[in-house]
Amino acid sequence: MLTTAAAAAAVLSACAAVRRRLCRAGRRETFCWRGRICVTELWNGGAAFGLPIGRRVVLAGSLAALLGVLRCRRRDPAAVGLALGGGLSNLWERLRWGRVYDYLRFPKAPGFLKRYVFNLADLAVFLGAAGLLLGRVRRPRR
């Protein structure tokens, strides 16, 4: 449980620090690193990928997903901590401002992914989910 809590706290802290640094009054510049990672400001009021889903549905789905992820904490505590920290960070933003601040775009990503803007919390959720899925593939259920 300590590994899960530490990973979640680290993700929450990192997400808050990056958001505080990037989301300042008067900041409008876009930064691209070698055309692979661009920092672009976008407030996402919808669900994942900007899907137009109501706020209550998004909040209820987020809470259900977080509770489901918590059930896996014994299998891979670090992966659960990443997913939990990222999910809580996005949930906090939705509860506080009614939207999520996204800022990372990957122009060289494959297919449709190059059009979307993400944030650090989204990446943590993705990495945590990937860790849980890969751990399940490596260790089949008995």
- Taking Cα atoms as reference points, which of 130, 125, 49, 131 lies closest to residue 86? 125
**From the candidates 69, 82, 83, 102, which is the catalytic residue?**
102
For the question of residue 122 being annotated catalytic, the response is yes
**From the candidates 81, 83, 117, 122, which is the catalytic residue?**
122
SS3 of residue 105 by DSSP: strand
Q: Give CA–CA dist 41/75, Å, rounded.
A: 36
Beta carbons of 131 and 76 less than 8 angstroms apart: yes
For the question of residue 76 being annotated catalytic, the response is no
| Residue type at 64 in one-letter notation | A
81: number of Cβ within 10 Å? 27
Residues 6+ positions from 60 with CB-CB distance below 8 Å: none
Beta carbons of 119 and 15 less than 8 angstroms apart: yes
Which residues are marked as active site? 102, 122
